[in-house]
Amino acid sequence: MKKVIIYSIPIVMAIGILSCKNSTPNNFSNSLNIDQKVDSLLSIMTLEEKIGQMNQYNGFWDVTGPTPKDGDAAKKYEHLRKGYVGSMLNVTGVKDVRAVQKIAVEETRLGIPLIIGFDVIHGYKTISPIPLAEAASWDLDAIKKSSEIAALESSAAGINWTFAPMVDISRDARWGRVMEGAGEDTYLGSKIAVARVQGFQGSNLADKATIVACAKHFAGYGFSESGRDYNTVDVGTSTLNNIIFPPFKATVDAGVKTFMNSFNELNGVPATGNAFLQREVLKDKWNFDGFVVSDWGSIKEMIAHGYAKDLNAAAELAANAGSDMDMESYAYVEELSKLVKENKVSANFIDDAVKRILKVKYELGLFDDPYKYCNEEREKEVTGSKAINDAVLDVAKKSIVLLKNENNLLPLKKNGQKIALIGALAADKTSPLGSWRIAAEDSTAVSVLEGMKNYTNNTLTYAKGADVAVGKTEFAFELKINTTDKSEFSKAINTAKNADVVVMVLGEHGYQSGEARSRTSLDLPGVQQELLEAVYAVNKNIVLVLNNGRPLAITWADEHIPAIVEAWHLGTQTGNAVAQVLYGDYNPSGKLPMTFPRNVGQVPIYYNYKNTGRPSTDNPDIVFWSHYIDESNKPLYPFGHGLSYTKFKYRNLKVVKLPNNEVEVSVEVTNIGSVTGKEVVQLYIRDLFASVTRPVKELKGFKMVELEPNTTKNITLKLTSKELGFFNNKGEFVIEPGDFKVFVGGSSYTSLEADFTL
Ligand code: BGC
């Protein structure tokens, strides 16, 4: 509903402002609330100034999308001076942020400050694990903390808006951007989405250590066909409502201030021009009161999609569909004013978009002090501080997943072991930073080699064995050329021959996942598989430490290698985190947030699949059931899998029905091993018969428990109607009476189960 406010006082003040150069509209009376201030400011803005607020430009240096047109820098400066720019991205560091902010505040007619955006995806200069890795911690406090310190460090460098969290659910490991999300599960993904929003935004946006979060990419981006980035998305109502939407909705409920739309089309309509997504669902149904930014150039890309015939049509479609801010399409700044004058875009839509944007700026406190994030002293003091590095190390070790550990090869002994360390990634100080670490300097991670060397007095001999890839390692380039060079194999083999234990760090370079880094193979890139087999031929005592931004199909390794540690891309503190886990000073507690396939042909493979009409057969002669003739249906490692240096036993699963469709589930968990360990107790349900078929299992609760040897804890988890219901195909949330199963254990492949009826 349109608010009615009395403009008389603000307008008088506004006239004052207009006649007073170098003033900003922060002079509105403090008795006005933010909405009133926004309305007052809006009332004195020209159409062009309003559209300017809806225009976002990239800075003049780094790009995170296709390079802008020639000669744009001059135009950008001119537009900045005229007040035709509401936001900039990729301007970093106090000095540069201050320079652009100064133009906006001191040279434009109204002096409206810019909001400064940046992809603070997993840290700013000090890098946390990639988001997929952090999701493996299942530790919401640690994830929140990681976002908090990312906000702290980036805000000290002038940034006040991050394009994170990416809350796209994805079941396709070929898609390079799975590294940036929380994996395949909606329940876990929603919890993590909330933790990240809370971490970035804190409880008070005006606090200078907090920044605005952005839930992206709305919607469906993680379901791009065949895992190829930017590809078409065609999903049904049930998947949209039950799988894709919930993490986005959770961020709205958690108070996220911005959304980013998406490059993909969804069921024939590009997300950027999609009024169903942005107006009907997000703004009307969910009552989102923040603003929506387009993805990089996505307004213009609607021309290539075959949806808009030119930039003018693209601007019209995007604005009418509820995209409030244009990132680097130049569509709004060039076309929108004509469109409003021709009544093709309603002035009310413009006002609505501008109000949303101004409101966030007021909430950040930018009108009170546009330079509040521009303090060089603070920047120096905060960047790379010990506290930030300590927090990064903490979440890095919690993100590691022990996939396999035969004969207790791990933990390594601290004395008297001869260790051979093999693999180019073991010595790499850039790759562990992963993708999306734009502000971090290359070579700033602690390598596994450094971490292990510093850790014990064991003899440690290093051999590269083989490069992972050759090619440029700068952000903008893809490492697609895998090396075939095996000339270093023999050195590695000799080193391995003489060792008690061989630690091999293999996998993907940090830039082999991320945006536009889709793969058709999930094998170890290059000649690494051959290297692994060649080393195995001389020494079977191998600990394989995987570095990767997505699940890999390492089936041979699983069959042969006794110990496998999933170490992802863990960021700045990688080597220290890996060393602490390998030497047992941190007992691994991570659990996979995404299913690992046996073979890329199984993808998309995920634990919460539907049963089909022909799920299995007891008769080996029957061919006609849902399976492959050349591979099992089973994953290599299921969702939720992760071992510890101790063992946990689950017993006494009990289900108690409470009033109001609530169910209490309890289980006893005992540490039956010899060291203290942490376990993520996972609760899954299955709604056996429903008006819309339900998955064979759905995660609906989890709890982290720490247990000393020979101790038991009774864990209780509650299911409410929120967990027991689902969205039907009319988009209504329903709880249907009937029979349910409940499963509890340490992975989605748990055997303990019970029944209840609603
Ligand atoms: C990505 C977004 C990112 C934006 C700005 C795009 O290419 O899809 O996630 O926030 O660039 O860097």
Residue pointed to by tokens 């992963």 = 434
pLDDT interval class at 13 (50, 70, 90): very low
Which stretch of 68-77, 506-515, 519-528, 607-616 has the lowest confidence by average pLDDT?
Answer: 68-77
Res. 692: pLDDT tops 90: yes
Quote the ligand 1 centre to 295 CA distance (angstroms): 6
Confidence check: pLDDT of 134 > 80: yes
Q: Quick check: CB of 163 below 6 Å from ligand 1?
A: yes
Return the pLDDT at 620. Answer: 83
Q: Compute the average pLDDT of residues 248-268.
A: 98
* 641 in contact with ligand 1, CB cutoff 6 A: no
- In sequence order, what DSSP letters do the residues of 442-479 get, joined into one string? TT-SPPHHHHHHHH-SSEEEEE--S-S-BS--STTS--
What type of residue sits at position 63?
A: V
Residue range 697-715: average pLDDT? 98
Q: Which two tokens stand for residue 362?
A: 């007021």
pLDDT the model gives residue 229: 97
Q: Which of 61, 64, 437 to mutate to test the pocket of ligand 1 (most atoms within 8 A of CB)?
A: 64
Q: What percent of the chain has pLDDT over 90?
A: 89
Does ligand 1 come within 6 angstroms of the Cβ of 515?
yes
pLDDT of residue 426: 98
Q: Is 296 in the pocket of ligand 1 (CB under 6 A)?
A: yes
Which residue is closest in CA terms to ligand 1's atom 8? 295
Which residues have CB under 8 Å from 236's CB, separation 6+? none
Q: How far is the CA of 494 from the centre of ligand 1 (A)?
A: 45
Residue type for position 266: L
Closest atom of ligand 1 to CA, residue 164: 10
Quote the strand ranges of 659-711, DSSP E: 662-671, 677-687, 698-707
- pLDDT of 63 reads 67
Summarised one tens digit per residue, pLDDT across range 184-231 is: 999 999 999 999 999 999 999 999 999 999 999 999 999 999 999 999
For residue 435 and ligand 1, the question of a CB distance below 6 A is answered with no
CA 558 to chain centre: 27
The token duo for 576 is 């220290």
Q: How many angstroms separate the CA atoms of 169 and 575, rounded?
A: 29
Atom of ligand 1 nearest to the CA of 263: 8
Are 703 and 680 spatial neighbours (Cβ–Cβ below 8 Å)? yes
| Average confidence score pLDDT of the chain | 94
In the predicted model, what is the mean pLDDT of residues 319-336?
97
Contact between 288 and 318 (Cβ < 8 Å): no
Sequence letter at residue 333: V
Atom of ligand 1 nearest to the CA of 262: 8
| Residue nearest to ligand 1 atom 6, measured at CA | 296
Measured in angstroms, how far is the CA atom of residue 119 from the centroid of ligand 1?
A: 7
88 touches 59 (CB < 8 A)? yes
Q: How far apart are CA 45 and CA 335, in angstroms?
A: 18
Q: For a substitution probing ligand 1, which of 57, 229, 295 has the most ligand atoms within 8 Å of its CB?
A: 295
Query: What average pLDDT does this structure show over 346-366?
Result: 98
For the Cβ of 208 lying below 6 angstroms from any atom of ligand 1, the answer is no
Whether 59 is in the pocket of ligand 1, judged by its Cβ within 6 Å, is no
Question: Does the pLDDT at position 23 exceed 50?
Answer: no
The two counts, helices (H) then strands (E), for the chain are 25, 25
More confident residue, 728 or 61: 728
φ, ψ at 259 (rounded to 5°) = -125, 150
Q: How many CB atoms lie within 10 A of CB 754?
A: 14
How far does Cα 607 stand from its chain's mean position?
20
Say how many Å lie between the CA of residue 331 and the centre of ligand 1: 17
Residue 185 in contact with ligand 1 by CB distance below 6 A:
no
φ/ψ of residue 154, rounded to 5: -75, -35
Choose among 354, 305, 356: nearest CA to 329: 305
Question: How many residues does this entry show for the chain?
Answer: 758
Residue 537 CB neighbour total at 10 angstroms: 11
Contact 591, 684 (CB under 8 A): no
Question: Of 458, 485, 482, 447, nearest to 468 (Cα)?
Answer: 482
Q: How far is the CA of 163 from the centre of ligand 1 (A)?
A: 7
pLDDT score of 324? 98
Confidence of residue 4 (pLDDT cuts 50, 70, 90): very low
- Ligand 1 pocket, 64 CB below 6 A? yes
For residue 479, pLDDT over 70 is answered with no
Closest CA to 701 of 725, 724, 717, 713: 717
Q: Measuring from atom 2 of ligand 1, which residue has the nearest CA? A: 295
What CA–CA distances, in Å, run from 427 to 389, 432, 453, 464, 504?
Answer: 20, 10, 11, 8, 11
Report the alpha-carbon distance of residue 682 to residue 702 in Å, rounded: 4
Q: Which of 96, 139, 168, 295 is catalytic?
A: 295
Q: How far is the CA of 296 from the centre of ligand 1 (A)?
A: 6
For residues 597 and 636, is the Cβ–Cβ distance under 8 A?
yes
Collapsed DSSP state (helix, strand, coil) of residue 24: coil
pLDDT given for residue 747 in this prediction: 98
The preferred substitution site among 57, 154, 260, 296 for testing ligand 1, maximizing ligand atoms within 8 Å of CB, is: 296
Q: What is the pLDDT of residues 400-448, one digit of tens each?
A: 999 999 999 999 999 999 999 999 999 999 999 999 998 999 999 999 9
Asked about 295 being catalytic, the answer comes back as: yes
Q: Is 668 a residue whose pLDDT tops 50?
A: yes
> Among 61, 87, 119, 300, which is best to mutate for testing ligand 1, by the most ligand atoms less than 8 A from CB?
119
Nearest to 177 by CA among 359, 435, 451: 435
Looking up tokens 């839509």, which residue turns up?
Answer: 349
The CA-CA-CA angle for residues 142, 147, 152, to 5°, reads: 120
Q: Which ranges constitute the DSSP H helices of 162-321?
A: 186-201, 237-239, 245-253, 275, 301-304, 311-321
Model confidence at 471, pLDDT cuts 50, 70, 90, reads low
Please indicate whether residue 743, judged by its CB atom, sits closer than 6 Å to ligand 1: no
Rounded Cα distance between 52 and 473, Å, is 36
Instruction: Name the residue with tokens 């213009």.
Output: 300
Has residue 3 got a pLDDT over 90?
Answer: no
Residue 707: other Cβ atoms inside 10 A: 20
Residue 161: per-residue pLDDT: 98
